[in-house]
Amino acid sequence: MGKSLLLGNGINMHLSVEKFTQNEIANRFAESLKNSNTIFELLFGVSISGAVIYETIQKSDNKGIETLAKYVYDYIKNNATENKSINMQMRLLDTIICSAITAIFCDGNKLLGKTYEQTKMLNIEKYENVFSLNYNEFWDVNNICHYLHGYIDLNSIICNEKPILFYSKERYIGLYEYRDLINKWKKQFNVCELYTRDIVFSPEFYRKSEMIALGHYPSDLLFPTDDLFLFEPKKLYAELDNVKRLEIYGLSPYGDNDLIDKLNQMEMVTVYIHDKGKNEQADKWDRSLKCRHAIKDSQEIYHN
């Protein structure tokens, strides 16, 4: 197998993708939650007020989208009127994912991401395999990327004058109250369906594999319902099974223990880190990787 590359969301920072900073995404997440408030009221009996957004998002020092989603998740779970069933967990994850994906890719009625510093782009052509933890790579016009956390086809979205909001395809099919509300949304928003089972986004679980398996096992807290469908959970990171040597760019060593376990099964892992000499992530990567590995400054990827 030829050279393989794994990209994290740090590639967006490196390319200076327009409006993709943590603070900008956090602000859009707050707006997305406000726009989706009627869904949270319908499914969980919880209103996303300005005070709630301040406590869970604006007050937080860590503006990472999954961290903020965790704060929102905990608030709603603790205040929901429904009992704390697995059904409720699945609906809550599903709803927060829709708001988060809206925040990442949409600014009002516009899709983001296509404006970036193209001169900073990596030489992707020298890699036989390119993997990404992002849901869409805007430079990937030839569809060479393997999306390990799921792929969102933004080319299928037709923009108009209305703000874009993603909604859950499963809920729309199975819950008539949800379907009625989304149909009302169409007067105000450009609503776009999302099948969240394909998206790995985990504000709750220590391991992302636990999120994928949620609802797929017998439990006293899981009940038959019209909006939860049978599914076969994917094996997380199965695409990396035959990769023995891997280069990594723009990826944090925190928050994804399943991926770290997969990397430690490889023969050689090379991690490129921005400003290596001053970046504490270099030491964290060095401690986390038990396989043979090298930690290099991000600039070296242009010369290897």
Return the structure tokens found at 121: 């782009």
**If 0-12 CB within 10 Å is exposed, 13-18 middle and 19+ buried, where does residue 169 land?**
middle
Nearest CA-CA partner of 246 in 297, 299, 302, 292 = 292
- Indicate whether 40 pLDDT > 60: yes
C-alpha angle with apex 176: 173 to 180, nearest 5 degrees?
105
Q: State the pLDDT at residue 207.
A: 55
- The pLDDT > 90 percentage for the chain reads 50
Does the pTM exceed 0.85?
yes
- pLDDT computed for residue 130 by the predictor: 96
Q: For 90-144, how does the pLDDT look when each residue is reduced to its tens digit (9 = 90+)?
A: 889 889 999 999 999 999 999 998 888 878 888 888 899 999 999 999 888 888 9
